[in-house]
A and B are shown apart, each in its own frame.
Chain A
Amino acid sequence: MKKFNIIDGIVVLLLIVVGVGAYVYLTKDDSISAVETGKTEVTFIAQADGVLDSVVDTLKVGDQIIGNGYYEDATIVDVLVEDSCRIDAVNGELILVETPELKKVTVTISGTANKYGPYIDLAGQEIKGGSGYTIRTQFFEAGGKILTLIEKAGN
């Protein structure tokens, strides 16, 4: 039988130490409470301002949301298109001046999202009021914000 090599022994020992260390690191529970994961039904309102008026007519109720190259289980259930506004000061007052060539698009989206405790994402985008959000369908895309998360399953 071949004689045991001390260097090989050290290598095996270190591999075991590294393996145990990696296991402990990857399985440690650093959360304060248990995280609930899975799917959840969400409905939220997103808004994009300053969208060219010539492109907004491609956005319709029933359009499916596009994720990273594929359709998501989420659709647009309401669309509101208004003129974008800028603010001017006239005779000592602030007034809103409508700019018809630019539109403010507000959509309500309902669908199934991924939930990891307090974190919810749909197509890789965080779903929280105030978060940046890109409204993306097959024929339309505009960057905006989520105004509010209206409801999710269980709430």
Chain B
Amino acid sequence: MIKKGKLFGKIHIVDILAFVVLVGVIVINVGSFSPAKITSYSQGKVVKIQYEVITYEYSPLVFERLIPGTVLAQDKKYLDGKILDIEILDKVISLVDNNGEIVTAAHPLYKKAHITLEATVLYEDEAYKLGNQEVREGKPYFIITEWNNISAIVTNIEIIEE
């Protein structure tokens, strides 16, 4: 059957192995473009949303460059989104004092911010996606601009345009 390294004396065994490897590579790549994934991409639609976030506590100086109109970014590119409004809030904390009473007051060093943003996002896989982040109420969110990278939580989403 195998004579001089050739199957049936005609096809070289090394060529068969190469062919098998190539078929494997093709099958794996075709899997990446399976109908399920193609359908998923084709179902994505562009939506304009307005959303709000509350940041974690920071030194007030950190918020200095977060001004309305600042464009959102991700890594090395800008995104189709911007800051609409920012309101600096007290970071309220509670401690028990020397008399055993609970004292609730503003943190003397840190503030947080309530920020309203607007963006054109992709709605796909049941999620609103801006760059590599999902915008979902309760989900952690990074407000990234040319000047800042701030951690926040999404508190509200409103669809403006579908």
Contacts and interface: CB of A to CB of B under 8 A. Distances in A.
A45 interface: yes
B108 A96 contact: yes
A65 to B, nearest CB: 19
Contacts of A148: 61-62, 64-65, 147
B103 A89 contact: yes
A76 to B, nearest CB: 18
A47 interface: yes
B59 A147 contact: yes
A32, A93, A118, A149 — most chain B CB neighbours (10 Å): A118
Contacts of A35: 76-77
Interface in A56-87: 85, 87
Interface string B14-44: 0110110010011000000000000000000
A32 B80 contact: yes
Nearest to A13: B22
A10 B145 CA distance: 48
Interface residues of B, number: 45
Given A10-B22, A47-B59, A116 B78 contact: no
Contacts of B147: 128-129, 148-149
Which of the listed residues B19, B99, B145, B147 has the most CB atoms from chain A within 10 Å of its own CB?
A: B147
A7 B19 contact: yes
Contact of A8 (B15, B77, B93): B15
> Interface size for chain A: under 10, 10 to 19, 20 to 34, or 35 or more residues?
35 or more
A126 B74 CA distance: 12
B78 A32 contact: yes
Given A90-B98, A117-B73, A129 B78 contact: no
Interface in B136-152: 144-151
A11 B73 contact: no
Interface in B83-106: 93, 95-99, 101, 103, 105-106
B75 interface: yes
A91 interface: yes
A93 to B, nearest CB: 7
B19 A10 contact: yes
A129 B73 contact: no
Interface in B1-23: 11-12, 15-16, 18-19, 22
Interface of B: 11-12, 15-16, 18-19, 22, 25-26, 58-59, 61-65, 71, 73, 75-80, 93, 95-99, 101, 103, 105-109, 144-151
Interface of A: 5, 7-8, 10-11, 14, 30-33, 35, 45, 47, 85, 87-94, 96, 116-120, 126, 128-131, 145, 147-149
